Amino acid sequence: MKKPELVVKVLLILIIAFIFVTCDFNGALHEVPLFNEEYWGEWIRMDTGEAWYFASNYRMVGNHYSTDPVDNMVRQSENVIKVTEGKGVSAKEYFLYASRIRNSSFEASAVMDDGSRSLFPRVVNVPKGMEVVVQAIKNGVDKQIIEAGDNGELTAQNIIAGDDYKVTIEGYEFTVTPNTDGDNVGTLTLTEGVNIKTALVPQSSSTDLMRLFSGESYDLTIKFTNIGEAVSKAMEYRLTLPPGIVITKNENSPTRLTAGDLQSFMPGQTRDVRVTIQCGSITDDFEFKDITIDTDDLDDKKWNDSVSLKVNKEKVTFNIRSNLAINGVVIVPNGKTYHFKTSFGWGSGVYSADVTVPKYLKDYLVVFSGASADTEAKYSFAVDKVPATDFDSYGLKDLRKYWPNDTEVLASAINYDQEVMAYLAINEANYYKVGFTK
C-alpha cells in the first residue's frame, strides 16, 4: 500500500470516529452539549406565549428548529429561566417558565410470550433484574437503564410527561407516551410475529389529559398499533372498566360499547376506537383509573394491556383582570404550566382571562411578567370569583402591597380566598404563591 493512501485512510477513520462521538440523533455536531440537562423539556416564554423545547443540542421555538446557543440564560429556580437580550438601557429581559420538564415518572409492566398455543400458559413476567433501556425520542442523549421488579414492573424517573419514549427490552422496542406524572403506560409484550400496543389520546386539542374532572365526559381515542412483523388477522377487543368510569359512546361498536371487532391490519398500522368516557365521583384529590384491554386474533393469540386516566376531583378557576393586555402563567403543583394573556372584553371594558386547573391542597405559583414601557399594566386576580376592576381608583404607589416579589423565592404568600390588585412594571416579574386548605 502506498504511503499517501495510508494517510488518507487514517484521516477518514479519524473523521468517522469524530462524527460518531460528537453527532447526536439530530445530526448536530457539538463537542459539548448546547444545553445541560437542567434545561431539557418544554418552557413557556412569558411575553409571547411561545413554547420553547430544549434538548441536548437543539431547541425548538414553536415549529422552528435551532442549534444556536442562547446567550445570557440563567436558571433562577426549578420553574424559572431568565433571559437577557442586549445590554445597557436597551437590554430586554424576559422569563421562561417550566411547562413540562424532567420531573415526572411513568410505570409499565413487561411480559414474555413465545407465541405457542400449548396446554400450559406461555405468557410470563420478565425476570427480576432484567435491564430495560428508556430513551427520549426527542433527545437521544436522555437515556436511562432501569431494572424490572419482582413481577416485571418498571418505573422510569426523570421523564417529561407528554413526550414519547422508546423502551427497549431484549431487543424488542416499544414507543410509549406517558400523559401525566405517574402514568401507567400498560403492558409491554415481548413476542415474535404479530404484536399489539395500545395507547389513549384525545380526539381534539381542546381536551387536556392533565385536566380531566369527575362528573364530566370526554371524547378519547384508543389506538391499537401492530408493532410486530406480521399481519394482524381480524382482531377483537374487550374493555374492562374500573369503578367510576363509564363508556357512553363507541363509534366502532355502537351497541356493545365495551367490546368490538378490528379488521386485519399490517405491521406499523393503527386502528382507532373512538369512545366517549364519563368520569364518576372520586374520593381523593385525584385518582388514576386503568382501563384493561384484552385483545385476541383469529390465530387465538392474546394480549393484555391497559390505558390510564388521571381523574381530578375538583377544579378551580383563576380569574385575571387588567387595564391593558398582560401575560402570566399558572403553575400547577406536580402538573403543567398554563400561559394566559388577558384580552379586551367589549362588554366589561377591561381585559380578562380565566384559567381552570385541577384543585390540589398544595401551593400554586401565579406569575405576571413580560411588560415593556408601553405595556405596563394594573391587574387583579382572584380564585373562583371575579376580582375588582376599579383600576382608576388606585395610584401606582397604592399597588406596592406585595413588593418585593420579583423572584420565586420572594413570592408573596396568598390564600385562595384573597383578592390581589397590583402593578406590573417594565422588565419585572410578580410572583404569588397561592395556597389551598381544607
Question: Which pLDDT tens digit goes with each residue over 353-411?
Answer: 999 999 999 999 999 998 888 899 999 999 999 999 999 999 998 999 999 999 999 99
Backbone angles phi, psi at 271, to 5 degrees: -110, 135
Phi, psi of 414 (to 5 degrees): -125, 135
Residues 209 and 282 in one domain: yes
| More confident call, 142 vs 13 | 142
Amino acid letter, residue 282: I
Q: Same structural domain for residues 201 and 229?
A: yes
Are residues 52 and 115 located together in one domain of the fold?
no
What local confidence, expressed as pLDDT, does residue 69 receive? 87
Domain edge (last residue) among 84, 100, 116: 100
CA distances (Å), origin 233, targets 246, 292, 300: 29, 21, 10
Residue listed under C-alpha cell 396446554: 119
Percentage of residues in the chain with pLDDT exceeding 90? 77
Does residue 351 surpass a pLDDT of 80?
yes
pTM over 0.85: yes
pLDDT, residue 13, reads 43
Q: Which amino acid is at 302?
A: K
Contact present, 46 and 10 (Cβ < 8 Å): no
User: Domains in the chain: how many in total?
Assistant: 4
Cα 180 to Cα 164: distance, rounded to the nearest angstrom = 12
Task: Using the predicted structure, report yes or no on whether residue 3 has a pLDDT greater than 50.
Answer: no
Last residue of a domain, one of 81, 100, 119: 100
293, 212: one domain: yes
Tell me: do 177 and 275 sit in the same domain. Answer: no
Last residue of a domain, one of 100, 132, 153: 100
Q: How confident is the model at residue 337 (pLDDT cuts 50, 70, 90)?
A: very high
Residue 245 Cα to chain centre, angstroms: 23
Instruction: Kindly tell me if the per-residue pLDDT of 226 is higher than 90.
Output: yes
Residues 85 and 107 in one domain: no
Give the per-residue pLDDT at 91.
77
CATH code for position 284:
2.60.40.10
Res 122: pLDDT: 63
Do 165 and 178 contact (CB within 8 A), yes or no?
A: yes
Q: 378: domain range?
A: 315-435
Q: Which of helix, strand or coil describes residue 270?
A: strand
pLDDT value of residue 427: 83
Q: What is the pLDDT of residues 86-117, one digit of tens each?
A: 887 777 888 999 999 999 999 999 999 865 44
77 and 106 belong to one structural domain: no
Return the H-helix or E-strand segment holding 373.
none
Do 348 and 392 lie in one domain? The reply is yes
Q: What is the structure's pLDDT at 22? A: 44
- 331 and 428 inside one domain: yes
The span from the CA of 245 to the CA of 248, in Å, is 10
92/122 same-domain check: no
- Who's near 275: CB < 8 A, 6+ residues apart? 219, 220, 221, 222, 247, 249, 250, 251, 252, 257
Looking at residue 437, its amino acid is T
Buried b (16+ CB within 10 A) or exposed e, 55-91: bbbbbbeeeeeeeeebeeeeeeeebbbbbeeeeeeee
Could you tell me which of 377, 355, 382, 242 has the C-alpha nearest to residue 309?
A: 242
Question: Who's near 137: CB < 8 A, 6+ residues apart?
Answer: 163, 164, 165, 166, 175
Average of per-residue pLDDT values in the chain: 89
Show the CA angle centred on residue 347, arms to residues 345 and 353, nearest 5°: 30
pLDDT tens-place string over residues 247-303: 999 999 999 999 999 999 999 999 999 999 999 999 999 999 999 999 999 988 999
Edge-first strand listing for the sheet containing 337-341: 337-341, 327-331, 363-369, 429-435, 412-415
Nearest Cα to Cα of residue 295 among 201, 198, 230: 198
Same domain, 350 and 276: no
Contact (CB, 8 A) for 361 and 284: no
Co-location of 304 and 320 in the same domain:
no
pLDDT of residue 373: 85
Residues 283 and 292: their CA atoms lie apart, in Å, by 21
- Which are the contacts of 351, defined by CB distance < 8 A and separation ≥ 6? 321, 322, 323, 324, 325, 326, 342, 343, 344, 345, 377
What is the signed CA dihedral for 152, 155, 160, 164, rounded to 10 degrees?
A: -10
